[in-house]
Amino acid sequence: MSATPKKTILFVDDEPNILSGLKRMFRPMRKTMKFRFAQSVPEALEVMAAEQIDVVVSDMRMPGMDGAALLTTVKNQYPHAIRIMLTGQADDESIMRTIGVTHQLLTKPTDPDVFKQVISRASALQDLMTDEKLKQLVSGIDSLPSLPETYARLQQTMQNPDCSLADVAKIIEQDLAMSAKILQLVNSAFFGLYKHINSPTRAVNLLGMDTIKALVLGVGVFSEIKSGPSKIFSISALWSHSMATAAFAKKIAGEVSEDQEMIDHCFIAGLLHDVGKLLLFSRLPEQYEQAVVMAGETDCTLDEAELRIFGTGHGEIGGYLIGLWGLPGPVVEAITFHHRIDTYPELSLCPALIVHVADYIYFRLNPDKCIGPPPELNQQAIERTTIQDHIEDWVELCRKIKEQEGEDDG
């Protein structure tokens, strides 16, 4: 059996001392990865033209073409490569120039352990996608599409000089794509808040009005859906399902754990667990509608229909993208494995399992909202844990949340 090819990481910095430090830092990882180093953008592009580079880590400020321009070129010419910006600049202009072309932002100096973890996870994510065309599609996306209606509401609200952070946060929380992008930004080490912020409201409060205005109104980082309206696939229904699953997952997590970080991970994973559907529908609408029709007219689930048409499912695609953006590992794993929970390594009472159960409960309570047959609990996985006797109790807890939501809507 042939060994898995080593991933190749390219570091670009015009300061020789920085490159020397990076060589020393990553020397212990040479058995599993290959490293290349370039002192300028032209040199970096020569390296990329000569061999496949899997991850590019570039400094921001360099003479001539800077890091943002380099990563823009990489995004266009080598969309499979994961793009990471390493910079000492923490000003708004830097954020605006890099947010559209980077998957992650890291500050100088970066904690070596954090840096190694980021590189290791980025390399591992390269193996997640099996279809090369889909890998290139996902890697080339800098922001998920947002609902046009929500985008317009946010623009209108922010033009009001009396608009508050609470007003902005309330709108952002209603949109899957905006929530994901805001969380990507605030969870980057660029803000010194590595992996701690799991709430869009907290994120908006930490970023502040000026940064939010620049992101939304200045560069339009939250792009609108490019495909036209569909008669057979509803984005608003997808969002309703995502919000309910997040609430269910958070409630279940609170029943079994007092670990607030774990509870937060369950909520955000529930919120984003179907983000791959949004990505597929917005970028490949005709093929995705084929999957929806297949699930509706046959006995296969929507996830099984995706596998037949795309060779992979929305869980893997969503997990790949959210992993690129640097959200916490348990969130990425929950998104990736929520339909493949029996293949989760060392399964325990983790966010992946809780989201799997929350997703099942949602469609048990709302069978008419499922495309194709509703998902079932993976009994093989459930039997490996101690939760079997608690499922019905959790169904009732979630039923109460649904009823409360209905009362609030009324």
Q: Does residue 321 lie in a domain region? A: yes
122 and 59 within one domain: yes
Q: What was the pLDDT predicted at 191?
A: 53
Its domain, for residue 201, covers 148-185+194-218
Distance linking the first and last C-alpha atoms of the chain = 61
Q: Does residue 138 lie in a domain region? A: no
242 and 352 within one domain: yes
Residue 218 to residue 206: CA distance in whole angstroms: 19
Q: Does residue 228 lie in a domain region? A: no
Residue 227 to residue 215: CA distance in whole angstroms: 23
Q: Does residue 20 lie in a domain region? A: yes
244 and 108 within one domain: no
Q: What was the pLDDT predicted at 198?
A: 77
Q: Does residue 226 lie in a domain region? A: no
For residue range 183-207, list pLDDT tens digits in order. Answer: 776 775 445 454 567 777 787 777 7
Helix, strand, or coil (residue 30): coil
299 and 171 within one domain: no
404 and 280 within one domain: yes
* CA distances for 39 relative to 44, 143, 320, angstroms: 7, 29, 30
Tokens 């991850």 locate to 55
Alpha helices in 284-337 (DSSP H): 285-297, 302-310, 314-324, 329-337
Residue 33 to residue 232: CA distance in whole angstroms: 45
267 and 377 within one domain: yes
Amino acid code (one letter) for 145: P
169 and 108 within one domain: no
Q: Does residue 2 lie in a domain region? A: no
152 and 107 within one domain: no
Its pTM stands at 0.71
Q: What was the pLDDT predicted at 143?
A: 61
262 and 399 within one domain: yes
Residue 277 to residue 288: CA distance in whole angstroms: 8
Domain count along the chain = 3
Which residue pairs from 63-69 have beta carbons closer than 8 angstroms and sit at least 24 positions apart in sequence?
A: 63/14, 64/40, 65/41, 66/41, 67/12, 67/98, 68/97, 68/98, 68/101, 69/41
For residue range 387-399, list pLDDT tens digits in order. Answer: 888 999 999 999 9
Q: What was the pLDDT predicted at 105?
A: 75
379 and 306 within one domain: yes
Which portions of the chain are predicted below pLDDT 50?
1-2, 147-148, 189-190, 192, 194, 214, 217-225, 407-410
Q: What was the pLDDT predicted at 381?
A: 84
176 and 207 within one domain: yes
Q: What was the pLDDT predicted at 194?
A: 46
Q: Does residue 132 lie in a domain region? A: no
* Residue 264, domain CATH: 1.10.3210.10
